[in-house]
Each structure stands twice: as C-alpha cells, then as structure tokens.
Amino acid sequence: MEFLTTSEAADYLRLGERKLYELVTTGAIPCSKVTGKWLFPRHELDLWVLSGLARPAGMLAAEPPPIVGGSQDDLLEWSLRESGSGLASLSEGTARGLERLQRNEVMAAAVHFHSLDTSDNLADDTNAAALRTAPDLHDAVLVGMVRREQGLVLPSGNPKKLSSLPDVLALGAKMAMRQQGAGAQMLLDVLLKRAGGSPKDLRRLDTPCLTGPDLAAAIRAGQADCGVATRAAAKAAGLDFAPLLWESFDLALRQRSYFRPPMQALIRFLADKRLRQRAEELSGYDPSPAGQIRFAA
C-alpha cells in the first residue's frame, strides 16, 4: 500500500495543508500517525473521494440497507454485534450475497468463492477474480476478514475413519450438502472434480443445509456421515474435523459504502485485539488479513 506525506496528500487532493490538517483533526479523512508524522494511504484517499461523489438528479444511487449478506460465519456475526455497527446479517450463501450486492439490496456480502483454478495456497485470489467479472460492480472493494479452515465435519470419534473426499467416495459415506451457490458447495464441487468424481457419485442427504451450523447439526443428529464446513462449525457442535484447505473469507462492497458509518464501525473493529482473541477461541481462523483492502475496481 502506498502512503503519502502531508504535503503529498494535500497536492494529490488539491487542498491546502491547513485544510488537510482540519480534516485530520476532526477524523474526517483516512490517515495514520507514525513516529510523529501523518501518513495517508493513497488508495483509501481515492475511496474517500469517491464516497462523496455527487451525481446529477435522477442518477442518485439508492442507499443500500445496513445488511451484510452472503455466507454465514460465527466470527463475522459476533463482530457485527460487538462492533456496534448496527449491521444485520442475511446468510444465503456466497453467490446469492453477491447477487444482492449487485442489486443494491445489501451494503456488503461475505464471500468465499472456489473454482477449479483455486489452489491450496493461502494467497489464492478467487474472491477478487469473482468481483472482477461480476456485472454492475465496477466500483467494488474487497476487504479482508479472515482466512478459514475448511474440511470434513464428522461424527464424534469419526467412526468411518474418513479423512478425505476419496475416502467418502470409496466407502459410500452419506454426505450432507449445501445449497447451490454456497461457497462450501462450490468447494465440494471442485474437490469432486479433482478426485475424478461428480455429485451423482455421492450418497447425499436429500435436503440441502442452508448454513455450516445447519450442516453440523444434521451430522450430529445422525442424518449424515460427513459434510464440508469450517473447523469452527465442527467445534461448536462438538464434532470431529478432517482439514482440507484454508480459504480467504472476505467482505465485498461498493466504494461508496466503504466510508458509511456502519461499515467504518465494522472495519475499525477488525483491528481490535478482541477479534483475534475470539478467532482463537472459535478455532480454525487466521485473522491476519482483517481490514486489509485486498482488491478495488
């Protein structure tokens, strides 16, 4: 990330340094004080300017409701409450969340996309790739939340000794599924193709589970032998877990929403040590990307 000095930021914004200091004093502009000097992240200055963009009458974009749609996540839901953001959650899966963001029906969408190009590398950029190709999201921003560990959720004691998807296929274990468009279902589809299989090769629970906790509850109730969800979901349900990979779990939003008070309250909270403590308690999280701008259109 490129940082500008006070004089550079004033020139960049075409403001006097005195006016810039007024904005700093009132907390109205993104900046950081390092060893007694103010530094200004250039990219966030761009977002700050765009957030106040004036549009002609008839072109005003409707303000989206203060809702985070997309994927369900316990740490995210806890953060929405603890940050005092006032943001509600609407958990319908990654793809549905992005669709709602495109229609301006949510302020942000929690996403974790997977494709055949996704690697096990922690630096995979599938979420950013999805935003680049999404129609009507020319002003998108991707803010890092966490990395999450995804794997097989298993009954306590793992009676079938499952540790991978090939094990599931070989033993004919019954699998709880997620709805189409859920990030975990995208991941399962990718893993099946890599293993040379397809959904028809699985013994599947008839009714899709709408969230990771729902999937864990189905396994705990004995309705299925396994399913794909996070380590945190398995731990919360007192179930076993076989890790498969780590993924990027991010917040997608429009540039004009980035500096809205609800989103700023949440983004500021992502740097709070309480988030890291809670992530450790829930397990299966790496909070190091929290608050980072991972992509901007």
Q: By mean pLDDT, which of 5-14, 118-127, 158-167, 188-197 is the weakest?
A: 118-127
pLDDT at position 185: 94
Of 120, 81, 83, 112, nearest to 95 (Cα)?
112
In this structure, how many other beta carbons lie within 10 angstroms of the beta carbon of residue 28? 11
**Dihedral angle computed from the Cα positions of residues 260, 262, 268 and 274, in that order, rounded to the nearest 10 degrees:** -170
> Which pLDDT tens digit goes with each residue over 187-222?
999 999 988 888 889 999 989 999 999 999 999 999
Q: Check pLDDT > 80 for residue 176.
A: yes
* Helix (H) or strand (E) segment spanning residue 252: strand 240-254
Domains for the chain: give ranges and CATH numbers. 3-51 (3.90.105), 67-140+250-296 (3.40.190.10), 151-246 (3.40.190.10)
pLDDT of residue 91: 92
Q: State the pTM of this model.
A: 0.78
Query: Residue 54: helix, strand or coil by DSSP?
Result: coil
CA distance 179 to 177: 7
Cα torsion 13, 19, 20, 26 to 10°: value is -130
Q: Please state, in angstroms and rounded to a whole number, the distance separating the CA atoms of residues 113 and 125.
A: 9
pLDDT of residue 122: 40
Q: Output the CA–CA distances (angstroms, integers) from residue 217 to 120, 198, 220, 225, in the order listed.
A: 27, 25, 5, 11
Q: Say yes or no to pLDDT of 297 above 80.
A: no
The percentage of the chain sitting over the pLDDT mark of 90, rounded to a whole number, equals 66
- Give, in degrees to the nearest 5, the angle at Cα 198 between 110 and 162: 80
By C-alpha distance, which of 235, 236, 181 is closest to 208? Answer: 181
What does the pLDDT look like over 216-260, one tens digit per residue? 999 999 999 999 999 999 999 999 999 999 999 999 999 889 989
Predicted confidence band at 60 (pLDDT cuts at 50, 70, 90)? very low
pLDDT at 118: 53
pLDDT band at 56 (very low <50, low <70, confident <90, very high): low
Return the bridge partners of 286, or none: 147
pLDDT digits (tens, 9 = 90+) for 96-135: 999 999 999 999 999 999 987 655 444 458 999 999 888 8
Strands 67-70 and 88-91, by their bridges, are parallel
Instruction: Strands of 171-213 (E only): list them.
Output: 174-176, 203-204
Contact 226, 175 (CB under 8 A): yes
Degrees to nearest 5, angle at CA 145 with 77 and 248: 115
For the chain, the straight-line distance linking the first and the last C-alpha, in angstroms and rounded, comes to 15
Which runs of consecutive H residues, i.e. helices, occur in 52-177?
74-82, 94-102, 126-133, 165-171
- Give the residue, 297 or 291, on which the prediction is more confident: 291
